[in-house]
A and B are shown apart, each in its own frame.
Chain A
Amino acid sequence: MFDPKDLKFTKEHEWISPDGTVGISDHAQKELGDVVFVELPKLSADLKKGQEMGVLESVKSVSSIYAPADGKVVKINEKLSQTPELVNQEPYGQGWIAKLELSDRKQSGELMSHADYIAFAGK
């Protein structure tokens, strides 16, 4: 379980940890509501910042997950295939989406801090 204060956030509501783990914010999971399907990225896919790396289907809407930084997918959270509700239950823990091996560490530094994100998301 990550402490959100250690994470960086995008305007599209993803978070990324210093070790390259990616998920969606607590605010985003609340907005989406019950997640019923998670489409994960492919292992070892090379992603560019802003590229779609997955899809969350909730009962009421669908939302893309975008790569917060350039990187290669080195782990995916297979548990979400059977228990997508983890995204709602623990967005900063067991609800993580994938782990990236970042090609440029500076990129995630340019993202929002938790405090800035909270102000941005208006909650």
Chain B
Amino acid sequence: MPQKTPFYDIHAAAGASLVDFAGWLMPVQYSGIIEEHGRVRTGAGVFDIGHMGQIEVFDEDVLQGLTTNDIKTLPEGMGQYSFMCDDNGCVIDDLIVYRLPDRMLVISNAVNSQKVFNIINVRDPRSTMLYGRRTAIAAQGPLAVGLIGKILGSDLSKLKHRQISPVRIFGAYDALASRSGYSGEDGIEIFFDDRAAAELWENLVSGGFTPCGLGSRDVLRIEAALPLYGHEIDSSTTPLEAGFGRFIKFEKGDFSGRQALSDQKNKGVSKKLVGFELAGRAVPRQGHEISNGDEIIGSVTSGTYSPTLKKPIGMAYISMGAAGKEEMPAKISIRDRSFDVSFVSLPFYRRIKL
């Protein structure tokens, strides 16, 4: 049986279409993917992200040895993007690691949470998985930070990117607010007590937030070229291949996957993540092959129709032989038909920072 977040009854009562995502019953859409996408790009949307893992870790040396970024350089009250890699340098999960005054908070993908927790917990037995006690929402969009600040009665506009700060929810529950998200827009994620879930969600929706599902979340993150585990990164891909070398700190000392990643960095990667647009009336999807003449040069990791660009877009791994020659004529095969693709730099969408 799939698990339910504390927002499940609200989604069901609102008539959202629900699917099993990584073992969780989650809303795919409320009003419609394009509508919700538009609200997040121009206004404010709220997402249930209660399926994501929240893991409290007390021994920071354990995390330092398990992740690629450098925790020693992370100031209190800030978060960093990082990877947990296996001995081959391949990705076990991508994470956000926050430094709180007395502990670290690790945010993991739903599909990997148990695996990540088990790896941490054998090394730090005090570490705790917070499912069933703490949940989370993401408030995203150009109006989101102002609106949620008003609803919670505390100004969150001073928070820097990936800064996390304690906040009270309706005077009753302690929570954490972080300036972060997964949409390419400004926003706040709130990590908070399960018991406040319905009250916070309803206040956000009545306060001007459009409830959004995983469908629009996926389109938003593809436009912003944010990776998704199982697509751009997985157990056969390294952060270097995905283009995230800047989150690997070789100089910090030993960590899981360091040797393999260091070797790969010296030798060079054999595939590269690129963006492309498609000329034609078809939507690229994971697994579609990209070719140049008779040679298959790559495979799509994610694709969608971009409501912002009004055309089909995607990300793909292409072989290094093909990379750097992005002007070459390339084609994608969809439903036994062939469409021209042109490679473009990522991201497809970047918000204008005021």
List residues of A whose CB falls within 8 A of some B CB: 30-31, 33-34, 36-37, 39, 55, 57, 59-60, 62, 88
Contacts and interface: CB of A to CB of B under 8 A. Distances in A.
Interface string B28-49: 1100111000000000000000
B128 interface: no
Given A33-B29, A33-B215, A59 B281 contact: no
Majority SS at the chain B contact face: mixed
B33 A62 contact: no
B219 A59 contact: yes
19 contacts: A31-B17, A33-B28, A33-B32, A33-B215, A34-B32, A34-B34, A36-B305, A37-B281, A37-B305, A39-B281, A55-B335, A57-B305, A59-B215, A59-B283, A59-B305, A60-B28, A62-B283, A62-B285, A88-B32
Contacts of A59: 33-34, 215, 219, 283, 304-305
Given A37-B305, A57-B282, A62-B283, 11 more contacts: A30-B17, A33-B32, A34-B32, A36-B305, A39-B281, A55-B335, A57-B305, A59-B33, A59-B219, A59-B304, A62-B285
**4 A-B pairs with the lowest CB-CB distances in the bound complex, closest first:** A37-B281, A36-B305, A59-B33, A34-B34
Contact of B33 (A55, A57, A60): A60
Contacts of A33: 28-29, 32-33, 215
Nearest to B285: A62
B258 to A, nearest CB: 38
Given A30-B17, A33-B215, A62-B335, A57 B32 contact: no
B304 to A, nearest CB: 6
Contacts of B335: 55, 62
Interface residues of B, number: 16
Given A55-B335, A60-B215, A34 B283 contact: no
Contacts of B33: 33-34, 59-60
A28 B63 CA distance: 47
B283 A57 contact: yes
Nearest to A84: B281
Given A30-B17, A62-B335, A36 B283 contact: yes
Contacts of A39: 281
A33 B28 CA distance: 10
A65 B182 CA distance: 34
B283 A37 contact: yes
Interface in B290-336: 304-305, 335
A73 to B, nearest CB: 19
Nearest to A64: B335
A50 B285 CA distance: 25
B91 to A, nearest CB: 25
A59 to B, nearest CB: 5
A23 to B, nearest CB: 19
A57 B219 CA distance: 15
Interface in B7-32: 17, 28-29, 32
Contacts of B281: 37, 39, 57
A82 to B, nearest CB: 11
Contacts of B218: 60
Interface in B173-213: none
A114 to B, nearest CB: 21
B308 to A, nearest CB: 12
Nearest to B216: A59
B285 to A, nearest CB: 7
Nearest to B337: A39
A92 B313 CA distance: 31
Nearest to A30: B17
Contacts of A62: 283, 285, 335
A100 B199 CA distance: 53
Nearest to B214: A60
A59 B33 CA distance: 7
A97 to B, nearest CB: 15
B239 to A, nearest CB: 28
B19 to A, nearest CB: 10
A37 B281 CA distance: 6
A39 B281 CA distance: 8
Contacts of B34: 34, 59
